[in-house]
């Protein structure tokens, strides 16, 4: 089972719609969760972080976390063509949870990203 | 301006050569990281450092080496032992290590082996 899973997309939404991006993770002990936006050829840019169950809103972005279901999502309201990018979900897994994490124990694990396309 | 810089932006290496990628930050962050990104793959951790003069291997450290002699600098050397070094290399930093500390990325170095 992959540790952090995202649908690779592409997810296509019309301008002005709500884009919904989903991420599941395998380690119940994961502590914190991040969403990054990555434009083609550029480095990832942090857009949201969330640490507790529920919703966190920042402008047009809302992150939702459900630890019981091991699920984190990102909603983008009023999607714009400039939102077209790949969105990376990252999960911080702690140490000593009885699993062999290798060298990344206690660090961020990234999903492969969901490519979002917002059509004018 | 505070931020993370990486150089060069593009780097070409002949097989058998060692090359060093630069990463500098002026954010006064304690922790620094090196990731590798391949097409269609997630970011994979190469090395990280939580404090000056200390660093740990990530998931894919073989064929790479690092140093952390100054808080601001965390250079990565890609050695000839790295079998498939062509990739996008990303340096990141965070205020401290640990799960509640957001990581911020530099602009990246794209390495191509000729």
DSSP E strand stretches across B1-114: 4-7, 10-13, 19-25, 31-37, 44-51, 54-57, 64-66, 76-78, 87-94, 104-105, 109-113
Render each residue's pLDDT in chain A as its tens digit; 120 residues.
Answer: 568 999 988 999 999 999 999 999 998 888 899 999 999 999 999 999 999 999 999 999 999 999 999 999 999 999 999 999 999 999 997 654 444 444 555 688 999 999 999 999
Q: Please give the share of chain B, as a percent, with pLDDT higher than 90.
A: 79
Which residues in A44-76 are b (16+ Cβ under 10 Å) and which e?
Answer: bebbbbbeeeeeeeeeebbbbbeeeebebbbbb
Neighbour count for residue B104 (Cβ, 10 Å): 21
Q: What six digits make up the tokens of B100? A: 């509640």
Rg (alpha carbons) of chain B, rounded to whole number: 13
- Nearest beta carbon to residue A113 from set B35, B42, B58: B42
Please state the length of chain A. Answer: 120
Q: Which of B103, B107, B110 to mutate to test the interface with A (most CBs of A within 10 A)?
A: B103
**Residue B80 per-residue DSSP state:** T
Which residues 64-83 in chain A show a CB within 8 A of chain B? none
For the stretch B92-113, pLDDT in tens is: 999 987 767 899 999 999 999 9
Predicted pLDDT at B114: 86
| A5, burial (CB in 10 Å: exposed 0-12, middle 13-18, buried 19+) | middle
Q: Which of A44, A51, A89, A91 to mutate to test the interface with B (most CBs of B within 10 A)?
A: A44
């Amino acid at each position: 089972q992959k540790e952090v899973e995202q649908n690779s997309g592409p997810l296509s939404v019309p301008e002005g719609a709500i884009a919904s991006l989903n991420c599941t993770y395998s380690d119940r002990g994961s502590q914190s969760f991040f969403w990054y936006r990555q434009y083609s050829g550029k480095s990832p840019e942090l857009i949201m972080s969330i640490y507790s169950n529920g919703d966190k809103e920042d402008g047009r972005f809302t992150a939702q976390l459900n630890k019981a279901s091991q699920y984190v999502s990102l909603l983008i309201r009023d999607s714009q063509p400039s939102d077209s990018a790949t969105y990376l979900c990252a999960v911080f897994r702690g140490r000593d949870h009885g699993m062999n994490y290798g060298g990344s124990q206690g660090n961020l694990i990234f999903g492969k990203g969901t490519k979002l396309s917002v059509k004018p | 301006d505070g931020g993370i810089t990486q150089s060069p932006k593009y780097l070409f290496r002949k097989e058998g050569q060692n090359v060093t990628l630069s990463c500098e930050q002026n954010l006064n962050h304690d922790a620094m990281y090196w990731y590798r990104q391949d097409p269609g793959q997630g970011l994979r951790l190469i090395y990280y450092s939580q404090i000056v003069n200390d660093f740990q291997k990530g998931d894919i450290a073989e064929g790479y080496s690092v140093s952390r002699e100054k808080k601001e600098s965390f250079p990565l050397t890609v050695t000839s032992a790295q079998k498939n070094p062509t990739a996008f290399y990303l340096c990141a930093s965070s205020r401290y290590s640990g799960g509640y500390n957001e990581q911020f990325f530099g602009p990246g170095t794209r390495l191509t082996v000729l």
